[in-house]
A and B are shown apart, each in its own frame.
Chain A
Amino acid sequence: MAGIELLSDQGYRLDGRKATELRKVQAQMGVFGQADGSAYLEQGNTKVLAVVYGPHEVRGARSKIQHDRAVINCQYSMATFSTAERKRRPHGDRKSSEMSLHLKQTFEAAVLTQLYPRSQIDIYVKILQSDGGNYSACVNAATLAVIDAGIPMRDYVCACTAGFVDDTPLADLCHAEESGGGTSLAVALLPRGGQIALLQMDARLHQDHLDTLMEAAMTACKGVSKVLDEVVRQHLQETSVLTGE
């Protein structure tokens, strides 16, 4: 029969959420000892590991050096076991390169890079399990990792996707919803100031609907920021207890 019904008449989505509800977000900071900062984040079934090194001296080509600020280097990859069908190339394909670039742009906007001239910050993210909203999960995990590394940022960068079905904006799409056709808009937001670090949309959407969709995505981002804030405070409390302060 017809394709799947993304939003039922009663207002429930495939997985039982309502249109504005996010998936369950769980996160943990400081999961690795060797890295300068690290975080593990689950957004529903999307699971991401983010690791930050730096700031440190610029490695490799010296031409990359920026004299007034730090260079941010991002690398995005997906585990071979992260999708339903085993992935052949975990990184380096077009999609991954694009995603790396997007992450780089996002964090260049958020990290106070001018504090570290002539240095480099490496952000590595790996998708362990993919279930839609990969970009936003990566951004959220990377934010936590950067905070864990103690690198100053203007604000949390929170990202979330939003889709548009039956004239209703849906927050935080899962894989089934993303692949069910229709538009998906990803927003990375600095929630306190309401500035948008990155906005991305692949499919077509009528201009009239853009505002409502953006509104929904931004509300969702603010929801994410609350969760992240909670995680950071929790982590801080735990570490301060450990260090006996």
Chain B
Amino acid sequence: MLKSKTFVKKTRSGGILKVVREHYLRDDIWCGSEVCEDCKDESPVLEKNPCLESSLCTYPHYLIPDTNVVLHQIDVLEDPLIRNVIILQTVLQEVRHRSGPAYKRIKDAIHNKEKHFYTFTNEHHRETFIEREPGESANDRNDRAIRVAAQWYSKHIPNSAEIKVVMLTNDRLNKEKAEQAGLVVYKCEEYIKSLIANPELVDRLAATADDQNEMTSSKIIFPEHLPLSQIQTGIKSGKYIQGTFRANRDNYLEGTVFVHGEGDESTEILLQGLQKLNRAVHQDLVAVELLPRDDWVAPSAVVLQDDGGKGEDDEEEEDEEKKLQTKKVHRDAMKPTGRVVGIIKRNWRPYCGMLNVSQIKESTRHLFTPADRRIPRIRIETRQAATLAGQRIMVAIDGWPKNSRYPKGHFMKSLGNAGDKETETEVLLLEHDVPHLPFSQKVLSFLPKMPWAITEDDMKNRVDLRHLCVCSVDPPGCTDIDDALHCRDLENGNLEVGVHIADVSNFIRPGNALDEEAASRGTTVYLCGKRIDMVPELLSSNLCSLRSNVERLAFSCIWEMNHNAEILNTRFTKSVINSKASLTYAEAQMKIDDANMNDDITQSLRGLNKLAKILKAKRIEKGALTLSSPEVRFHIDSETHDPIDLQTKELKETNSMVEEFMLLANISVAQKIYDEFSECALLRKHPCPPPSNYDILHKATKTKNLVIHTDSAKELADSLNEAEIDGFPYFNTLLRILATRCMMQAVYFCSGLDSDFRHYGLATPIYTHFTSPIRRYSDIIVHRLLAVAIGADSTYPALMDKHKQAALCNNLNYRHKMAQYAQRASVAFHTQLFFKNRGILNEEGFILFVRKNAIIILIPKFGLEGTVFFENRDKPSPKMLFNEEGPTLTVEGHTFNMFDRVRVTISLDASNIQNQKIRMALLDPVIPGVSVPLPEPEPEAKKAKLDR
């Protein structure tokens, strides 16, 4: 079996080393085709009749792409249409070496059984291995290896099968040589264009270097980028500075480069003008050169948007704009200014946005406007402009040549019509970097096989708690139930309370693809009417979900408590439970309130409720904050999935009952894992906000003659409780909303790398997340730690490595933040949908903030926040006086204070389809020239006035 043939490879690492490696060549590597009878492959990957209709190759064929095709045209290869492709080991290795993301994508394609991608290990095959010839470059050798493998295939596949292999390459020389060798070879573009019935694939082709040469627009707009070697020496000598480029959201001609300094010494360098920006795109790692001090400028406060439609002729206009900016420079406002000399690393991702269709009807070149305003517009080529107009599409950037005003890109896929619910949801998921693709085959392969049942093995480290009267209480319609509770009387007069959490870590084993996917997703994202799961549905809604009347694995935290809710004894154990009921909050509340019911579940619930009240009182005594944020829930039409009504979330006693025990479990677990693993426990902290954060709260309450103490959480909680104004019941809620805005973000961290563990909001010295492992990855890690602590599971190296933990925490914090943003964006979008069907409404609201030129208003009925601007582009702005101390704003004699009651009209401004907005306009108090009249039944006339 072993055809041993040793050979010598030379590599350099540091100095010159001669590395000798063995290289075994084998003759048991199969071709992977169903038609081949010589090969003893058990499960051939390539189909017997690969049908893909092409006008160039009318016969059935397999494809062999070369490295560059895989690297650059991965979008095309990923298309479900392209199947039966042979990926050579040479190609795979080169891709791995050159681009991590492309490698991951091609691997995913290979793992996808539908795609019939076969990896041929040609480098170890006796007949396809070739040695590098003297004078031959590594690239040439690889190209030759690809050709040899293709030749081998065309000889190997029996003639009777009438299947040919088609090689795809964009390299002219390679193509010529392959043709000489008698191979069927096409350029990738040629081949894709020849595909019958699938013309839309053409748009996915990335623009290649060849195409760029054809471009005749000779005018060079941008200075050349320096080569990487020169940049590196420049950075070393201090001539250039390395930093992350951040484009300005409001002004496309301006950006900053964020330079990571040591400690707190991070600085920003200002860049102004297209030339200085020199093709940097948001988030790129760039090298900048500082300009001499005389050329420094101040950041402009002008809002400049790169308005579409003008094409490439608008350069003169830009020059004007630039002059306009430079005029108003103040000496003291000047900032270090620089220019981009080179790009160290591009950080491009696919961008969502919309197509600006070119005015010329037959044109295939169009501009694409990304949804993110920090990204420049991208020029793409497409033949489907007519269909794509009005759709949300995804575009990838291929490059930005120096003679092009805009980067060049290619169309990747269409997400659907703009304004559609599915499309917009997709867009907001993509823009918030929420991984939401279906789980890959590889991930799914780690799921337990169905039908699943609890086995002897499962019982080894578990306690049987099936006899207990456990029940779960959740919001209506919840399918991922991760917690259940029980409470019973003990013989000694004490109470036993148990919190049972789904044992997700039993199904997700460390290090496998499923675990990695969950770790990268970090959290389940709940949008209006949609849920993006962190773990596949089989786990989230079935095997892990603690549904009623089925046996489920759980991780239990069991306390013995006396009737004053003092913990006498805490026990953690893996268990098996059988929930007796899945209740909603309302159902649970009804059971508790209904004096006629006396079954086990109700008894248990009453006991829990009683204890929860004591626990809550204790917690508040310690200084836990009750904050408020206006949360709304949509009544969604079951047929059309359109929001039909809004409702602010209502809190029942049972909500707080469940919450109390979850908090208790989290705190108990946090203490336990910290005691056991002081260096690598994953905890959650909520830092104390700096005193300056409360300024706005102090100012606001002063006007109402109230004082809020903010020295400690306890004092804040107390003074918030006392702050009431007669006849203004909503005031307290407003105040709590305001207080919430003063808070810091709670974050995960690794106990070994931090010393401050306090959770400010909950007023507990230590806290973690344990109770929702189905929807949070942090909880899975905490489960693993706890399992090791009680000896129920084994540990693994990454769990005990505090630096790896810290890196994981960073990702989790990022994902949580993005999930929150996505959630908010989803609510905002549904609010828009809601108002779209309503026309113009008029509602009562309260002033939440006062700004220099606007007031921010909260509408309690919808939990909606909006801004009323007093400045207008078309009209002369009214007389305004802003008082910093109040803060108050006086407009034409009327003074706006915080918490003032106002009436506003609400309508949807759909003038910019990419960026629809809720508009608010003032109704009452009436200020001439500023407020609008009461909306009449006829909406047409109003729209004009409502514009800004």
Checking B98, B511, B796 against A1 with a beta-carbon cut-off of 8 angstroms, the contacting residue is: B98
A10–B794 touching, CB < 8 Å: no
* B794 contact set on A, CB distance < 8 A: 206-208
**Closest A residue, CB atoms, query B25:** A16
Please measure, in the bound complex, the distance between the C-alpha atom of A200 and the C-alpha atom of B361, giving whole angstroms: 76
Query: Beta-carbon contacts of B784-798 to A below 8 Å, as 1s and 0s?
Result: 000000000011110
- Please judge, given known A-B contacts A9-B110, A207-B794, whether A176 and B21 are in contact too, CB under 8 Å: yes
> Is B193 engaged at the interface, CB distance under 8 Å to the other chain?
no
Complex CA–CA separation, A76 to B868 (angstroms): 85
A-contacting residues, B574-594, CB 8 Å: none
* Contact (Cβ within 8 A) A15 B22: yes
Q: Is the CB of A1 within 8 A of B100?
A: yes
Query: Which residues from 117 to 153 on chain A have a C-beta closer than 8 Å to any C-beta of chain B?
Result: 129, 131
A136 to chain B, nearest CB (A): 16
In the complex, whether A17 has a CB less than 8 A from a CB of chain B is yes
Q: Scan B80-120; emit 1 where CB is below 8 A from any A CB, else 0.
A: 00000000010000001110100000010010000000010
In the complex, which residue of chain A has the Cβ closest to the Cβ of B17?
A84
A21 an interface residue at 8 Å Cβ cutoff?
yes
B75 part of interface (Cβ distance < 8 Å): no
Give complex CA distance A2, B121 in Å: 20
Could you say which residues of chain A place their CB within 8 Å of the CB of B795? 206
A8 to chain B, nearest CB (A): 7
Task: Give Cα distance in the complex from A45 to B726, angstroms.
Answer: 90
A-facing mask of B1-27, CB < 8 A → 1, else 0?
110101000000001011111111110
Interface range on chain B (Cβ under 8 Å from partner) = 20 to 34
Contact of B22 among A45, A167, A206 (CB under 8 A): A45
The reply to whether B24 and A16 contact each other, CB–CB distance below 8 Å, is: yes
Beta-carbon nearest neighbor of B119 in chain A: A10
Contact check, B107 vs A23: say whether CB atoms are below 8 A apart: no
When A21-B2, A204-B797, A207-B794 are in contact, do A131 and B20 touch as well, CB less than 8 Å? Answer: yes
A8-B121, A9-B119 in contact; A2/B100 too (CB < 8 A)? yes
**Which of chain A's residues 11-27 have a Cβ closer than 8 Å to chain B?**
12, 14-17, 21, 23-24
B124 lies within 8 A of chain A by Cβ: yes
**A85 is an interface residue with CB less than 8 A from chain B:** yes
Residue contact A84 to B24, C-beta cutoff 8 Å: no
Q: Which residues of B contact A84 (CB under 8 A)?
A: 17-19
Closest to B124 in A: A16
**What residue of chain A has the Cβ atom nearest to residue B107's Cβ?**
A9
| In the complex, A5 has a CB within 8 A of chain B | yes
B121 touches which of A12, A23, A44, A131 (Cβ 8 Å): A12
What interface size band does chain A fall in? 20 to 34
User: Could you tell me the distance in whole angstroms from the C-beta of A213 to the nearest C-beta in chain B?
Assistant: 15
Decide yes or no whether B123 CB sits under 8 A from chain A: yes
Chain A nearest CB from B421 CB (Å) reads 39
Contacts of A174 in B (CB 8 A): 21-22
Q: How far is the CA of A10 from the CA of B117 in the complex (A)?
A: 12
Q: Which residues of A contact B23 (CB under 8 A)?
A: 15-16
B97 cross-chain contacts in A, Cβ below 8 A: 1
Chain B residues closer than 8 Å to A9, beta-carbon distance: 107, 110, 119
Which of A2, A15, A24, A85 touches B21 (beta carbons < 8 Å)?
A15
A1-B97, A16-B26 known; A24+B2 contact, CB < 8 A = yes
Distance of A167 Cα from B796 Cα, bound (Å): 12
Is B17's CB under 8 angstroms from A85's CB?
A: yes
The distance from the CB of A224 to the nearest CB of chain B, in whole angstroms, is 14
Given contacts A16-B26, A45-B6, A85-B17, contact A206 B796 (CB under 8 A): yes
Nearest A-chain residue to B20, judged by Cβ: A45
Taken together as a complex, chains A and B put the C-alpha atoms of A104 and B355 apart, in Å, by 77
The answer on a CB contact under 8 Å between B24 and A17 is yes
* Cβ B796 vs Cβ A15 within 8 A: no
For residues 1 through 57 of chain B, which have their beta carbon under 8 Å from a beta carbon of chain A? 1-2, 4, 6, 15, 17-26
Interface centre among B17, B98, B121, B795, by most A CB within 10 Å?
B121
Which residues of A are found within 8 Å of B26, using beta-carbon distances? 16
Q: Which residues of B contact A15 (CB under 8 A)?
A: 21-24
Residues of A within 8 A of B96 (CB): 1-2, 5
Please report the C-alpha to C-alpha distance between residue A35 and residue B31 in the assembled complex, in whole angstroms: 52
A174 to B21, CA, bound (A): 9
In the complex, what's the smallest C-beta–C-beta distance from A130 to chain B, in angstroms?
10
**Smallest CB-CB separation from B110: which chain A residue?**
A9
Provide the residues of chain B in CB contact with A204, threshold 8 Å: 797
Which residues in A have their C-beta under 8 angstroms from that of B98? Answer: 1
Residues of A within 8 A of B119 (CB): 8-10
Which one of A16, A131, A208 has the greatest number of beta carbons of chain B within 10 Å?
Answer: A16
In Å, the complex CA distance between A9 and B243 comes to 38
Q: Complex: how many Å from CA A176 to CA B11?
A: 13
A17 CA to B1 CA, complexed, in Å: 10
Q: Are B21 and A14 in contact (CB under 8 A)?
A: yes
- Report whether A8 and B21 are in contact in the complex, using a CB–CB cutoff of 8 Å: no
Which residue of B is nearest A207, CB measured? B794
Q: How far does the Cβ of B155 sit from chain A's closest Cβ, in whole Å?
A: 22
Interface residues of B in 398-453 (CB under 8 A from A): none
Q: Are B89 and A8 in contact (CB under 8 A)?
A: yes
Residues of chain B contacted by A16 (CB below 8 angstroms) = 23-26, 121, 123-124
Contacts of A85 in B (CB 8 A): 15, 17
CB distance from A209 to the nearest CB of B (A): 10
CB neighbours (8 Å) of B107 from chain A are 9
| Chain B neighbourhood of A131, CB < 8 A | 20-22
CA distance A174 to B4 in the complex (A): 15
- Nearest CB to that of A129 among chain B residues? B20
Pairwise interchain contact A45-B797, C-beta atoms closer than 8 A: no
Task: Please give me the residue from chain A that is nearest to B96 by CB atom.
Answer: A1
Cβ-defined contact, A10 with B796, below 8 A:
no
For A23, give the chain B residue with the smallest CB separation: B22
Residue of A nearest to B11 (CB): A84
CB-based contact A10/B121 at 8 Å = yes
Residues of chain B within 8 A (CB-CB) of A12 are 121, 124
Question: Within 8 Å CB of B22, what residues of A?
Answer: 15, 23-24, 44-45, 131, 174
User: Chain A residues near B89 (CB, 8 Å)?
Assistant: 8, 10
Q: How far is the CA of A199 from the CA of B119 in the complex (A)?
A: 38
CB distance from A70 to the nearest CB of B (A): 38
Residues of chain A contacted by B511 (CB below 8 angstroms): 167
Considering residues A9, A21, A167, which has the most beta carbons from chain B within 10 angstroms of its beta carbon?
A9
CB distance from A96 to the nearest CB of B (A): 22
Q: How far is the CB of A233 from chain B (nearest CB, A)?
A: 21
In the complex, what's the smallest C-beta–C-beta distance from A183 to chain B, in angstroms? 11
CB distance from B878 to the nearest CB of A (A): 60
Least Cβ–Cβ distance between A205 and chain B, in angstroms: 10
* CB pairs A–B below 8 angstroms (7 shown): A15-B21, A16-B23, A16-B24, A16-B25, A17-B2, A17-B24, A167-B511
A-B pairs, 6 with minimum CB distance: A16-B124, A16-B24, A24-B4, A84-B17, A15-B22, A44-B22
Kindly list 9 other residue pairs between chains A and B, CB separation below 8 angstroms, not including A16-B124, A174-B22.
A1-B96, A8-B89, A9-B107, A9-B110, A15-B21, A15-B24, A23-B22, A167-B511, A206-B796
